[in-house]
């Protein structure tokens, strides 16, 4: 009886002194385990099963326990249909990871392919001085390399939809082009710059940041941009330069 009481007392003391990790810390540990699983365990399992491609499909809510073991800890809160494709190049000891999803799958799977309306695809891939170029074009291309893989005509579906589609590939950049807090400032500048496309960059930024127009003109001139420039004329590099000289 004494031994039992001593054990319970020791257990209570240990439990009291045990450190409770925050949700963020628990998420980081889980994500480290997932990364190790994909880098080390997955290739071994594919080699043992003698397969070079494995497709894991999950419907909404991701109830499949297999796919739950491969996705980031914060992935399960929403209804998300996901397809993971793993390709094993045994000869070169490489394993490619591909996600087909409307949402970002996280740092473990850097490449994503998804099918969207062709009109949306044109906007995502748009370049400066084009009608489709907008804030989303700049922000997405800032975060990732985006390319169109193929067009999908409407007659390939039944029933036939009213629009054509396209499959795009999104490859996340290894490192951000700007560090915080500049990255958040970059996104805010881009959003304000495109808020009203008919207005000049000076007017949009003046309304968005409440800076005097003369100050904004001086900032633009410092990076060789004219005062009558509109957002659609700026390249991604121009927006980065503008962010770097913008007063914080």
Q: Which residues pair with 113 in a beta bridge?
A: 100, 169
Residue linked to tokens 């009608």: 131
Start and end residues for every CATH 1.10.8.100 domain found in the chain:
182-245
Residue 18 has a pLDDT of 52
Assess contact for 123 and 168: CB atoms under 8 A: no
- Structure tokens, 178: 């700007």
- Structure tokens, 186: 């970059």
- Neighbouring C-beta atoms of residue 155, cutoff 10 Å: 9
Residue 30 has a pLDDT of 82
Q: Which of 67, 107, 72 is nearest to 85 (CA)?
A: 67
pTM for this prediction: 0.61
Consecutive 10-residue runs of the chain (248 residues): their mean pLDDT? 55 56 80 88 91 77 73 63 79 80 67 80 93 93 89 82 87 88 94 93 94 94 94 96 94
Q: How far is CA 200 from CA 9, 95, 217, 230, in A?
A: 72, 48, 11, 5
Let me know how many helices (H) and strands (E) the chain has, helices first. 10, 6
Residue 225 has a pLDDT of 94
Q: DSSP characters for 25-92? A: HHHHHHHHHHHHIIIIIHHHHHHHHT-SEEEEEE-TT---HHHHTTS-TTSTTS---EEEEEEEETTT
What is the fold, at CATH topology level, of the domain defined by 182-245? Helicase, Ruva Protein; domain 3 (1.10.8)
- Neighbouring C-beta atoms of residue 248, cutoff 10 Å: 6
- Neighbouring C-beta atoms of residue 185, cutoff 10 Å: 18
Residue 123 has a pLDDT of 92
- Structure tokens, 53: 């491609």
Q: Which of 74, 78, 94, 76 is nearest to 86 (CA)?
A: 94
Rounded to 5 degrees, φ, ψ at 238 are -65, -45
Residue 88 has a pLDDT of 85
Dihedral, CA of residue 124, residue 128, residue 134 and residue 140, to nearest 10: 40
Q: Which of 141, 168, 164 is nearest to 153 (CA)?
A: 164
CA distance 138 to 81: 26
């Amino acid at each position: 009886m004494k031994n039992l009481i001593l054990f319970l007392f020791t257990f209570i003391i240990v439990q009291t002194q045990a450190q409770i990790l925050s949700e963020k810390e628990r998420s980081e540990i889980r994500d480290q385990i997932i990364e190790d699983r994909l880098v080390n365990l997955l290739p071994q399992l594919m080699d043992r099963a003698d397969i070079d491609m494995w497709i894991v499909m999950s419907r909404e809510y991701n109830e499949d326990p297999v796919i739950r073991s491969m996705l980031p800890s914060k992935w399960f809160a929403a209804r998300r249909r996901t397809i993971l494709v793993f390709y094993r190049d045994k000869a070169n000891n490489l394993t490619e990871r591909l996600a087909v999803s409307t949402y970002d799958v996280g740092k473990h799977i850097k490449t994503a392919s998804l099918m969207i309306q062709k009109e949306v695809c044109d906007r995502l891939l748009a370049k400066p001085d084009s009608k489709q170029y907008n804030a989303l074009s700049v922000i997405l291309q800032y975060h990732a390399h985006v390319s169109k893989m193929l067009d999908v005509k409407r007659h390939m579906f039944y029933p036939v939809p009213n629009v054509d589609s396209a499959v795009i590939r999104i490859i996340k950049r290894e490192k951000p082009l700007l560090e915080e807090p500049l990255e958040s400032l970059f996104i805010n500048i881009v959003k304000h710059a495109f808020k009203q496309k008919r207005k000049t960059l000076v007017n949009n930024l003046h309304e968005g940041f409440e800076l005097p127009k003369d100050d904004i003109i001086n900032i633009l001139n410092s990076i060789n941009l004219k005062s009558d420039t509109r957002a659609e004329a700026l390249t991604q590099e121009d927006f980065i330069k503008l962010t770097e000289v913008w007063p914080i």
